[in-house]
Every structure is written in C-alpha cells, then in structure tokens.
Structure 1
C-alpha cells in the first residue's frame, strides 16, 4: 500500500528537482518526477530521460597515463639535482658513481610510480558499491534490469539483501531496515518509513524516508521513486569530492623538498666559489673545474633517497607485524609529526556491535540481565522476553545472525541463563505482531503451561503508555509512567539505545491479532539500554596519545548523545566539553569555526564534506592531521588528511584505497605503535642528514680554506668522490637500523612547520664540519711543511676516518656511544669496519694506488692519522656530555 495517496501526475518533470525530497509527500514527489508510481515509466520516457540524465554510474576522472605518472616522479628538485650529479660524474670520468646515482634515482621513481598507480583505484572502488541489478516497475510490469540503466522517476522495489541502486524517496516501507554505516557512520540499521518529514534541513542519517545508493537493505521490504542517479547521488557527491581533493604532501616530503632546494643552491655556490678562488690563486683551470664539480657532487647526499626508502621500508615491515599495513611509504614517518587524530567512531573506537550495557528491572538498575532466580518473577519474565521475543538465529559455528539489536538482546539473555533454543521448546512462538515503525514495537505470543504469554518490546514512550501496572518482582503494582520515562531519558542521555519490555497473559491466542486489541493493558517489566561499546584497549591508547602531545578527536555520523557517551568513556572529552553537530557546523561561518576548531573534541551527525572542512581547518591552524575511518563517507577526508588510516576488517574498498595506512585489526591502539615507529624513523633520517651534511661540510671547509692558509689543494677529484662513495653509502643506510632513543614518546610532536635543520642541527653541521676540516688542514699543514711525501694520502685518511668517528658518535643526541654499546646497531658497526678496511685497501694494495692516487703510509704516519681522526668522535661525545649535565640546552 502506497502512502500519502499518490496520484497520476499531470505536469512535466522539472530539470532541477528539489533537494529536500524527504520533506515532500510521495504524491508531490511523483508529480515533480512526472511518473505514475502504480505503473512506472514507459519505454519512450526512459529513453528520453537516459539521454538527458545519462547512466546511473559513478564517473571516474580522466586518469593520467602511466607514462605521465612515471615522468612526474622525476620532477622533484632533489631528484633533478641527483640526475645532474650523475651526468657530471660521468663527464669527469667516474661512471661507477654515475651508475650508482642513476640506480638510486630510478628505484625511487619506481616506488613512487607504484604507490601513485595504486592510489588511482580509489574512485574505481566506488563503482563496486553500486548494486549490479535493480527490480523496477515499468509499464505496469516488474522487471530486473542493470542498475546503471535506472533513470530519475523509476519505481524500484527493495527487498532484504538488496543493495540500494540509486537515491530514492520511499513510497512504501514494511519493516524496512537499511544498513547505512558506510555512508553515514550510523552503527545500527536504520528503520525506514514512507511519511514525509517536516524539517527541511536534516542530516542524511535522519532522513528516514530516503534510501541512498551504496547502502544495503537488511530487513523487510519497500518501494521508492528514484530521485537521483550517478554523480548526483550522495555516493556520487562523495566520488566527486574524492576526485577533486588533492592529496597533501607528508611532512617528510615537504622537509626533503625544502632541503633539496637549499642544497641545489648551495652546490652551485660551492662550484662557483671554489673554482674562482682556485683560478685566482693560479691553479690550473681544468683542475679547478674538476675539483669544484667533484666537490659539488660530494655535497649532494645521493644516498638520501635510498636511506629514506630503506628506513621507511624497514619501518613498514615492522608495522605489519603490529597490524598496520603501509600503502605509501612516507606515511610511516608522517605519524611522528601528527598533532591531531580525527577518528571515526563506529568500528574504529567501538566494537561495531551492539551490547546490553544497562537494564532496569523491578525498579533496580544493573549492568546485566538478571540471572535465573534473581529479582523473582519479574527477572524471569524479563529474561524470557529478551530471549523469546527475538528473531536472532543461533548457528552451529556459535555465530548469532540477525539485527544487531536483537543479537545483543539474544546474547545478553543467554549469558544470564535464558537460552532461546531451550526455552522455545517449552514456550514456542504461536503468533506475532511484527515491528512496525509507526507503532515502534513488536509483540510475540508464546505457550506457557495451560495459557499464553505475550511479550511486547519497543520504544519506551510507546510501550510505557500501554501499561497500567508494573511487576515489582513479587506481583503487580501501579505504574508511575513519568518515573519510568525519566529513567529512560537518563539512560538515553548516556548514549544508550533504550527499549522497554512488557507482557500480558492470555488464556489463548486472540482471534483478532490487531495492535489495538493486543497491545493494551500490559504489565511493565523493565528497560534495557544498548550501546556499541568502546574497544577495551582504546582508552589506554587515547591516554598514550594525549601524553605524546597528540589530540584525539571523534568525528561521527552517529547521534550526539551516543557520541558524547563514547567520547567521555574513552577520555576524549570531559564533562564540560561540547559536542558540535553537523547542523551547527553548517551554520557556523568559516572564520568563526577556524577559531574554535582546536577546542572541539567531538563532532556528531556530520556530512562527508564537513569532515574535509574539519581537517582543512585544523591544517590551516598549522596542525598535522591523521584521519581514521572505514566508510565511504570517510574516503575524501582520508585522502585530504596528512595521513589517512583505514580499517582493514570493516573498512570499505573506497576507504582503504584512499588511505595511506590500513589497520589490519581495526584497532585504534595499533596507531600508537605506528606513532612510535614514525618518530624513530624520522630521528634516523635526521641523523643521516646531520651525518652526511656534517661530513660534506668537513670536505668543503678543507678544500675551501686551504688556499687561504697558503696550502695547495689538499684533495684531488678522485679523492673527493672516493670519500663520498665509501662514507655516505653503507654507514648512512645502517643508521636506518638505529633503535629508538629513551623518552621518544614523552616528546611532543614536531611542529609541522619546523625545519629539518631545527633543534641545533645546523649549528652542529657548522661546528663539527669546521672541526673536521680543521683537523684535516692541521694534518696537511704539518705533513706538507714537514716534507712528508704522503701528505695528501694522510689528509684523505684523516678525513675519511673522521667521518667514521662522527657516524658512531652521532647515533644519539644525548646518550654516550659507550652507554649505547657498539653492538646495539650491528649493521652500523659492520659498515664502519668495512669502510676502514676499504680505506686501508686504497693505501696498502699496490694495484689501487695509481687508481686512487694514494701512497702507502709509514706506521707512525698511520698512527698519527688514527689519533687525529678520533678528535671529531671525542668532540661530539663531549658535546653530549655537556647536554646530559645541563651545560648545553637542546630541545
């Protein structure tokens, strides 16, 4: 039966249908769409509308070709500098160096290409959510067609198990329930109705007479008029947001891009200065050109992309063991910079299943259903009502299937000793009045001895009004309805979904099964409050985030009271904090919202575009934002956030494809492990940059200052390239394996706009570089003026081994190398020993002497080099000692 007395329309369909379909009667909707809902559209009209509106499909944006994606990987400043370095290395006769640089560049480009190619699948995944087929009424006959062939005005029939194929205004809803979690975040199926709603501005979750594309019918049946198809559906609007939303670069990408630009300018300046100074001193133009170019190549840490990739890849492998799958490697480090985590509620902070949280039986509150024998006859009847007046089904594999609310009641009753399968043998269901959204309750009849007992459960305001008495455990007494309703309101204020339970005894099943005859003169039994409970481990995870300077924020499509209850339990918000709804957010001017955004901890009933607005507002305030979620409605915000974290178990394909990271166990607490790993990785990348720039600075100071001290050029181009090769590669990669420092998670997040050279790093690069250069120049001055023929080899050895001492000392900002121990980073120890062996090989293997322009050192010369090269190690260790004792402050 179709509600609102729909009649045959007489006017043509408007080109721009009204947006608030839920506020119109079905008669008005049919008239706007020019369709007779009893017969549907004719073939000619379908063809005309299809030519006007197109197919009911999610449009994909024009994707870049694979070749374009690949070429775009080589437009970064750092990559261009490395390509230039490779070309120059080849020009000056160093093909091994050129090949090594190009391999690193190509590897980096390949990884970026693979990541970006996979990301392009996000919008494509949206298409899979659309129903493949639809049951439609056309020309008076029902037919099954491809959902893509639907047009506005089509009459679609819905049954349990169907995917909703388009946005529809329901005309008929018989016990119809629709699962909308993927679109709205609502944790339980929504009871639908066909009546028009009076309020025009309603969030999606409250439009009870609408069904939306991409959602799922879980119970009942219905019919509706198609009001939007394809990209005009709510699902299509999300696809458009996802397509238009640009992905934000990670903190690491931003910092490395800035570093690359700075380094490119520095390299050019070095080339020019060294070349001009040398030529002005009378050196050979060709020699100075080669020296300047070699020094510029050495100044560029070509191992940096490899070190970053290795560090991130190692972190990604470790995080998989902790149930966090990284889709894009930079995301490993990004969590170390995050200042806000905006989390979806359902399935992320909660268990995504309903559970009985509170009951009120015989006037007494409790956290569980009374066990058999507790609270007398009232307790027994209450437990039997939950078990028997229930359509949930228990399977052999110990799974319970059915509506989430009914499953929760079934489980709670069974835990209290009321087993449905056993009870229904003695008290089989004989008749029923199914749940109806108008009545807001259901009644079932069961045999009980010689008579019949009828159990009624439903909305408190409905059921309480049908009762005159209450069972207090020993017998029936007069019911004070206002007291019970006040109790129900208090439970609802705690975020619980409250149901009331009553009963009535009959001598036999009534001959007339109507609500008016059956659902009256009931005896009230009690209230039951249900909630999708928080995950038990999330409370500690929230505390851990807050201790680490990270602010958790809940963003959900659920009811404000439910959101508040969960947030307070988890410690996300306090009693004084307010919940901002999507409606309030829509009314709030942008500038006012930006001012308030850092004070809001919970958002409820928000639309997908509002999630993006929240993320953008936080980013505009200088915050780095992580967004967790599992639904289609989360996908645009996941893509926009600095790091998007999707749920692996309950998450949709769209959410996963739009994310940077996937939690394989859907456990919010797993993010804590990712934060820890991200901070460790950034520390190690920063160590490498500090190490390589300090070493490069030592080389630059050595060559740049020598002429001003009256000394010849201390190193040949081959020497510079050799130092660069042996010191930057393996030792730098080994730094990626450095364990985390103590107190890592007690530090606040790094400021998002903080330079990679902050916290004393650039000062260290200068003074340690000067110390390294000074020791090398001291070696040159003494050996050259003392007549040592091997003075150039001595400078090469001191400079090379000084860098090895530097890498050992640089492992920690505070802790001594001897406290850390040499075996806590075995790869680094092996890399240092290998570099030492290679350096000795260039000195003492005769075949290598002409290649590297070296000469064997005497024992006293070698011992002197070893002593002088330890000065840098001791100097850095002294600095750390001063930091530990408070003589030198570091952030």
Structure 2
C-alpha cells in the first residue's frame, strides 16, 4: 500500500522540482509555460527515469499538481469544475478527423465527368438557342438543364453532408467510455480516501487519480503509485504482445490506450489528450478511413453493371438520332438547300439526351440508399439500446444464424441479491437476521466481505438511490451487510491500510483473495466458486465453534450447493484463515496461491438470485422463429446454468448441456459432432467460448457473440458480430466488439437482428423500384428514338425523374422501420443474390406494363386525347401526358415496392413511416406544380381534368396489377 508520508530526501527533491517546474503556480490558479508543460509531458518517457526522480516521484507530482494521492484533486474556488486544469493542461479529447462542410461537398459533386459534359452541352445549347433559334425563348432549355443539374448536385451534397454528420456523431458516442477516479468528497472535514466516481474519460484532468482494475483501458498518461498484481498489455504502443508487470518501483509509467489484463492499481494523470502518447500517435493519423460494407460492395458492382448498360443505351440512342439527322441533312443538301448553323441544334439536343440517359441510368442511388438506410438504422438502433460501432455489423446481424449469449446481465437482470444460504453451520431458505450469530465470527464474516471486495455504492441523482459500482456479485454481499446495518464503509476506511496483498478475481482462478495484517500474523479472506473454495476448506464455523469438515459434512454441503443451484441460484463460498507470521515469513514474496489459499475455514455459502429478464423468454422464442439458434455460454455451474436456460427457453428436451472442462478435452471431430445439439456450455472459460465460435464459423454459421470481460475480447473479435455489454462490459470488450448493447439486455440483441434484416430488405425494396424505372426510362427513350415518334422525355424531365428515383426514393424506402414479420423468416444465405425470383418477376411485369402504356400513348394518344402529333404545340401536350403518366406510375409503384416477399397487404405499416408518406405526397405535389407551372422550363403544359384523371388512373392501376402479378409463381430466397 502506498505510504502517504514523503521522505526527507524526497522533500528536498520536491522543493527543487517545484522551483524548476513553476514559479507561478498557486493554490487558486495554474500559470504554466510551454516549457513547463513540455517537461511534464515528457515524464512518461521510460528511457529517461531521471526526469521523474527529479520531480520527486508520484508524491512530488501530487504536490506540484495540487493533488492528494488519497483524496484526489483538491478543491479550490476556481477548480470545482476543473476548468482551470483543462485550460492549462488540455482536455482529454483527440482532434477529430477533418469533416467536409456542405459547400466543399457541393463543389465535389461537379467532379463527376458525366455532369461536366452535361453542363458543357447545356451551355452550348444555351448559346445556340439564343444566337440561332430564338433570342426570346432559346435560352430556356439550356438554362433549365443547368438549373436541374444544380438541384441534383444540391440534394446530393445534402445527403453527403448528412452522412458525414452521422459518422461524426457515431465517433463521438463510441469513444465516450467511462473510467473510475478518486476525487475529494464534498464534506469539508473528512479524513481517509476520496470518493470514487465513474466519469467519462473526456472529463479526466491532469492531476486526477485514476483507479485501474482488470479490463480497464488506461485513459491518459500517468505515474503509477499503487499496484496489486497489476499487469498491462502495451502491444498497441510497442507491437509486442506481452503482459507487462506494473509496479511503482520498477515500471510505473502508465500509457494511454493500453489495457489492464490483471490486478488493480492507481495512478496520477500527467498528460491528457493530444499531449499523451496515444494522442501523439493520433495526430500522425488524422485521416478518416471509410470502409465499404459487404452490401455496399455488392451494390456498387451492380451499379457499375447497370451504368454500363445505360451507357450503351445512350450510345445507341444518340447513334440512331444522329443517323436520322445525318439522313435528313443529306436529303436537304441533295435538294439544293444550304447548310445553316441552326442544323447543329439537333446534334446538341441528341448529345444532351444521350448524356441525360447516362445520368438517369447510373444508379448512384444504390450506395446512397445503403448509407441512408444504415445511418437511419444506426440512429434508431441507438434508441433501442444498440450502439453500432461498425457499419457492416448492421447487415451481418440481420443474417446471423447463431447467438452465443452470456447469462448474467444479458439473460438475467444483473440485479443480484442474496436470498438464501448456509451461515455458520446452518442452512437458511431466506437470509436470516445477523443478531443470532456469534459476534467474533460475524465480525470476521463482515470484514471478509468489506475488505475482500472492490465494489462500492454510488448515489445516483437521477434514480435517487444507491447503485452498485463494480461487480454485481460483490454488490449483492454489500447489500446484505447494508440490510444487516453493518458498517462496512467504516471498516474499509479504517482497515484498508492493513491490506498486505490482494489477489484479484480472474476467470481462470474463479476466486479472489485478500490478505490483511492481523496481530502477529495475517488474516486471509477468500471467496469464489463454491466447489473450488469448498475443496480448499478443512474446517467450518459451526455456531460458536470450529469443527473439522469430514466426508459426511462435505457431501452435505455439496447437496446444499446443488440444491440452491437447481433453483437457479448462483452460489458463492466465503472462507478465511489465520496465518502466523513466524511460520510464513516470506509467503508474500512467493506465490501465495500455493502457500496460503489452502487449509481454509468455511464461513458461509450464499445463494444469489439474479432473476431472468421479463422480456427474455419471448425474445428467445422470437429468435428461434427467425431461424437463429441461441446458446448459453456461462461460467456458472452446470445445474444453475441448466435451470436458467430452461427458464429462458434456451434449453429444450433433447438438448445438450455440457461443462467447459469436457468440451475442451474433446477432439475437433468430436466437438463438431455435438455442437449442433449443444444448448448450454457451463463452467466455460473464455478460451472455450473462442473455440466454440471458431467451430461454428467452420460449420457455415453466421455467429453473434456476447461478452463483457477482457478475456472475452478474442471471441468478440472472432465472431461475425461481437456484442459487448454497455453496463457490465469492460473497455477492452467494448473496443473488440461491433455493437455495444447499452442495457445489457438480450431483447436488444433480437431488436438488432430485426434492424439488420430491415436494412437488407430496405435496400432490396429500393433496388426493385430503381431497376423498374431504369428499364422503362431507357427502353422508352431508345424505342421512341428508333420508331421516329420523337423523344417524349426531355432532358430536364429525365433529371427530375433521376431526382425522384435516386435521392427521394432512397430516403423513402431506406427508412422503412422493422416489423415483427422480419422474425418469421430464416436468415438469407451468404451467397444469396440481391435479386431473387420474386423481385425479378415484379420488375419485369411492372416494366412491361409501363412500357406498353407509354408506347400506347405515343402511338394512339393523339387520337384518344384529340391531339395532332404533327403540330408542335399538340406534340408537346402529348409528350407532357406521357411524362406525367410515367412519373405517376413510378409514384404508385413505389407503394408496391414496400414489399418484396409476395406479402398480400402492401399497405401494412405504411403509416409507421411518416418519411415515406411525406416524400410520396411531396413528389405528387411537386409533379403537379411542374406540369401546371413548369412551362417552357420543363417542356410541360397545362393538363385538363380528363388528362389528369387518365394519367392518375394508369398510375394507380400499378397497384391492383401488382396483386395480379404476385399470383404468378416465382422463387423466393433459398432457405
């Protein structure tokens, strides 16, 4: 334990250091020069320990930084909110990557070569129109195209900006993890230690005292002054995967970004944020790396193929138009007419149409739809307690076939209380009153809980009650002492300085031991897994006496443990031992596990209840109906695990329950045989979990794994989707995971599956919609050009269609919320095509219908509507009807595209997505404005009620025809 008193030698060094370090520091305000700051930040240089020595070590630093190593940062009038420290020493944040603002993104949209050509062509059209055609009206088409390009670029920039903003918000949230610090209590008169507080790492200041424990991530640079069996993994800084022993005497330098793999400790913060070792590395790697998700890769490949098809369609269309123009020009010249500059207008118009077809055909909306859907889903998943750290995990989670779940906190509430037990020789079905116990042994029992524990209570202002910080199991024991009105806090404050050694709990040892000085010897307090501790006991407290544990008594105790476990209780054994110093002079320097954790005396076996979360049984049932197998992987004993698994619905008749010991001693072939039936793996180690995950992936499963401990990190990384716990999870586990379950609830995992499936289905909905528009737009333009009826869809109109098809449809269909129906189907296979048979049928059938309608209007519309296509104004009127009908057919078909699996009711849940409703209504309103008021700008004219009615009817007909088309047999996704 750290000695608070500073030696005389250190005091002299401290005075020199203070004079050298700062002449202007006061108790109220820091005034620090750049040179002084530099010397402080250089303290964490292991190669130059003399600098730390000159400062007077951790004690000297505490004086310089106006910090008490026991109490934490001192209170002064200007430091209550630590503003002064942040001002002079910096904040514990790293400089965010450069994010482009709206205008740079808007400028970037014009880097597209196709748009550049379209702009040049529009300018040529504008010049020719004004100089050759008609100075009064010739400017309209070129200007309209330029305006349309600006609108498309503007909307694209807005979407890109929203995407950048989403990534920025995600980075802020995922980096905001908590740590424990010691800060001075509010009471003015207080002796002992300061108050332990869980705060954001961003709120850490230079001079803070940070508490480390197994699984912690070091949040800033600092100097260690207390350690117990402390080991750190510094591979992120050194590249060497090796556990480093950390002690105040030998290796006291704590480096930000490194991980604590064992033990506990405390250090004083010397450098934060950009001044820390990790911050300096971050400064050198500012660039933001964006990696495509697998679905984005698939869609970009498809977009490339569709774009090439559009390019060839455009080339053929332009070729046909130029051939006809050439034939007419040849005929004109043969008839003796002269070539005039006006003849070039038709060539420019043909090129503009061709380029516009390319713009429409290139489905830039596909990757945009992925971004919109993922960004929207990530935001909504946060509301459902799922923090998505990696984009691709959204998609992968939707196709998960297997979930390996922890028990405590995930399937259960993690609200542990002692409800039964074996106390001092007697079994109790309920927790008894403590007055009946012998005072001597009750005192030892209370001290064993108070001192052999790291959990503590923190008053939650929001909940207005004390909440357990740290291990919930230890918290259950503290709650029992609180119920007994035992002063465990006072015991800690008064006796913590008596602790000689502490051996922390680990998943391998499954126990924790604390050794304290006691009279002429040591008291050894040990607690842990019942079967392990009981095996080390030779005596037990029986009332007021100590009796030996014979075979009959041991069997009785084993029955007690099994009885509590069969009722779903977690059992914990508490024992102690007194050791004479004369007999064990050197055991603290040796391995105490072999010497001291033997010959124990049993105090108690407690039964801790952690009730199953109310929503878990239904969530497990939903998972099963969705084709997702749920397995429980827990460190609990096999009886407790089986009981809880049965209560959750995980364990069913005929399922296999196995212990980790048996599992790990099987051959690979044996494990592969039993895994399909394995439902519960009890008493498992993190290595067992990793082995199970690897085998499941070998079998072709898409695996999701939950974990909360540091040792779970390998399994979380190995899994297709790693799901860490937001409450109980260590920083290391969260760092290794893809999704953080903020409420540690299995129900949230099922919601993540729903959202993942929703993302995938939403992309397919958009794909079905866009391909229909593409096929119809390209086919109509080409056939109209070949047939000689003239292009019905003008460049500006096609750009408006492009806006509907790409941006607005992506937003409308990409934000469809998930429904319970998504859990009624099995996951899609990895190699499943983006387009299944049902989607191909829908695209084909709707495209044929729309083409027939548009070509029918072009061919017979003149007679039907009483228009003469040979008259320019009436031809414009007929083309306007074609354009209006085309858009309305897309608008109504968008409703069809809400469903992609032959669902009968395409309107189901439509009002759950007000974004869809808003965009759908908005497109109709804008279309009406374009038709009625667009005039020469959009090449439109007023339509009467009858013409509007026909256009609307033909568009609306897409919906009943959709029902008919769904009667045509088609293959769905392979199951």
Q: How does the TM-score come out when normalised to structure 1? A: 0.63
SS at match of 1:320: helix
Contact 1:104 1:305 in 2 (8 A): no
SS at match of 1:715: coil
In 1, the alpha carbon distance for the partners of 2:597 and 2:893 equals 84
For residue 83 of structure 1, the aligned residue among 112, 120, 142 is 112
SS at match of 2:112: helix
Worse-superposed segment, 658-667 or 262-271: 658-667
User: Counterpart in 2 of 1:261?
Assistant: 304
In 1, the alpha carbon distance for the partners of 2:177 and 2:469 equals 27
Worse-superposed segment, 319-328 or 633-642: 633-642
In 2, the alpha carbon distance for the partners of 1:219 and 1:424 equals 22
Contact 1:358 1:528 in 2 (8 A): yes
User: Counterpart in 2 of 1:317?
Assistant: 379
Q: CA deviation at 1:879?
A: 3.5
SS at match of 2:421: strand
For residue 622 of structure 2, the aligned residue among 541, 544, 562 is 544
User: Counterpart in 2 of 1:148?
Assistant: none
For residue 95 of structure 1, the aligned residue among 146, 154, 159 is 146
For residue 866 of structure 1, the aligned residue among 952, 963, 966 is 952
In 1, the alpha carbon distance for the partners of 2:447 and 2:802 equals 78
For residue 354 of structure 2, the aligned residue among 259, 271, 292 is 292
User: Counterpart in 2 of 1:411?
Assistant: 479
User: Counterpart in 1 of 2:898?
Assistant: 811
User: Counterpart in 2 of 1:675?
Assistant: 753
User: Counterpart in 1 of 2:879?
Assistant: 792
Are 1:689 and 2:767 an aligned pair? yes
Structure 2: which 5+ residue stretches go unaligned? 1-45, 50-93, 123-144, 182-208, 219-225, 235-241, 244-250, 267-277, 283-288, 327-345, 460-464, 504-510, 586-595, 869-873
Summarize deviations over 1:11-68 as a string: whole Å, max 9, x none: xxxxxxxxxxxxxxxxxxxxxxxxxxxxxxxxxx9889xxxxxxxxxxxxxx999689
User: Counterpart in 2 of 1:215?
Assistant: 260
Q: CA deviation at 1:216?
A: 7.9
Summarize deviations over 1:521-556 as a string: whole Å, max 9, x none: 999775335688876655554443333222345667
User: Counterpart in 2 of 1:170?
Assistant: none
Q: CA 1:367 to 1:219, structure 2 compared with 1: closer, same or farther past 3 Å?
A: farther
In 2, the alpha carbon distance for the partners of 1:771 and 1:285 equals 32
SS at match of 1:760: helix
In 2, the alpha carbon distance for the partners of 1:606 and 1:422 equals 33
Q: CA 1:522 to 1:743, structure 2 compared with 1: closer, same or farther past 3 Å?
A: closer
Q: CA deviation at 1:665?
A: 2.8
User: Counterpart in 2 of 1:835?
Assistant: 923
Are 1:876 and 2:962 an aligned pair? yes
In 1, the alpha carbon distance for the partners of 2:767 and 2:827 equals 20
SS at match of 2:400: coil
Contact 1:347 1:630 in 2 (8 A): no
Summarize deviations over 1:709-748 as a string: whole Å, max 9, x none: 6744443333322333345543542334445456222222
Q: CA 1:115 to 1:637, structure 2 compared with 1: closer, same or farther past 3 Å?
A: farther
SS at match of 1:753: coil
Contact 1:342 1:628 in 2 (8 A): yes
In 2, the alpha carbon distance for the partners of 1:304 and 1:433 equals 63
Q: CA 1:765 to 1:364, structure 2 compared with 1: closer, same or farther past 3 Å?
A: farther
Q: How does the TM-score come out when normalised to structure 2? A: 0.58
Q: CA 1:750 to 1:422, structure 2 compared with 1: closer, same or farther past 3 Å?
A: closer
Please show how residues 349-388 of structure 1 align to structure 2 within 5 Å: 356=418, 359-360=421-422, 368-371=430-433, 386-387=445-446
SS at match of 1:215: strand
Q: CA deviation at 1:768?
A: 0.7
SS at match of 1:662: strand
In 1, the alpha carbon distance for the partners of 2:307 and 2:367 equals 15
The root-mean-square deviation of aligned C-alpha atoms, in Å, is 6.5
In 2, the alpha carbon distance for the partners of 1:822 and 1:664 equals 29
Worse-superposed segment, 632-641 or 265-274: 632-641
Please show how residues 720-799 of structure 1 align to structure 2 within 5 Å: 720-726=798-804, 728-741=806-819, 743-784=821-862, 788=868, 789=874, 790-799=877-886
Q: CA deviation at 1:631?
A: 4.8
Contact 1:503 1:525 in 2 (8 A): no
Are 1:854 and 2:934 an aligned pair? no
Q: CA 1:807 to 1:433, structure 2 compared with 1: closer, same or farther past 3 Å?
A: closer
Contact 2:386 2:739 in 1 (8 A): yes
Q: CA deviation at 1:479?
A: 6.2
Contact 1:162 1:216 in 2 (8 A): no
Contact 1:382 1:501 in 2 (8 A): no
In 2, the alpha carbon distance for the partners of 1:123 and 1:864 equals 54
SS at match of 1:749: coil
SS at match of 2:656: coil
In 2, the alpha carbon distance for the partners of 1:181 and 1:534 equals 35
Q: CA deviation at 1:490?
A: 8.1
Contact 2:539 2:546 in 1 (8 A): no
Q: CA deviation at 1:481?
A: 2.7
SS at match of 2:450: coil
Contact 2:211 2:265 in 1 (8 A): no
Q: CA deviation at 1:623?
A: 4.1
Q: CA 1:481 to 1:879, structure 2 compared with 1: closer, same or farther past 3 Å?
A: same
In 2, the alpha carbon distance for the partners of 1:402 and 1:523 equals 27
In 2, the alpha carbon distance for the partners of 1:468 and 1:694 equals 80
Structure 1: which 5+ residue stretches go unaligned? 1-44, 49-62, 131-158, 168-174, 184-202, 205-209, 222-234, 240-245, 447-453, 505-509
Worse-superposed segment, 575-584 or 717-726: 575-584
In 2, the alpha carbon distance for the partners of 1:742 and 1:835 equals 29
Summarize deviations over 1:727-783 as a string: whole Å, max 9, x none: 554354233444545622222222233222125112211211111111111111112
User: Counterpart in 2 of 1:499?
Assistant: 573
SS at match of 1:335: helix
In 1, the alpha carbon distance for the partners of 2:796 and 2:384 equals 46
Q: CA 1:888 to 1:699, structure 2 compared with 1: closer, same or farther past 3 Å?
A: same
SS at match of 1:527: strand
In 2, the alpha carbon distance for the partners of 1:69 and 1:597 equals 49
Q: CA 1:742 to 1:597, structure 2 compared with 1: closer, same or farther past 3 Å?
A: closer
SS at match of 1:266: helix
Q: CA 1:567 to 1:546, structure 2 compared with 1: closer, same or farther past 3 Å?
A: farther
Summarize deviations over 1:823-882 as a string: whole Å, max 9, x none: 55554444344433433334433xx322223343454444333333333233113345x4
Please show how residues 25-40 of structure 1 align to structure 2 within 5 Å: none
SS at match of 1:325: strand
In 2, the alpha carbon distance for the partners of 1:128 and 1:400 equals 15
In 1, the alpha carbon distance for the partners of 2:412 and 2:703 equals 21
Contact 2:797 2:938 in 1 (8 A): yes
Q: CA deviation at 1:401?
A: 8.2
Q: CA 1:84 to 1:646, structure 2 compared with 1: closer, same or farther past 3 Å?
A: farther
Summarize deviations over 1:225-283 as a string: whole Å, max 9, x none: xxxxxxxxxx9xxx9xxxxxx99854432432333233233223322443445556668
Q: CA 1:820 to 1:542, structure 2 compared with 1: closer, same or farther past 3 Å?
A: closer
Please show how residues 234-273 of structure 1 align to structure 2 within 5 Å: 250-273=293-316
In the comparison of the two structures, how many residue pairs are matched?
727
Q: CA 1:647 to 1:521, structure 2 compared with 1: closer, same or farther past 3 Å?
A: closer
SS at match of 1:695: helix
Q: CA 1:559 to 1:82, structure 2 compared with 1: closer, same or farther past 3 Å?
A: farther
In 2, the alpha carbon distance for the partners of 1:659 and 1:464 equals 37
In 1, the alpha carbon distance for the partners of 2:229 and 2:178 equals 19
In 2, the alpha carbon distance for the partners of 1:166 and 1:713 equals 65
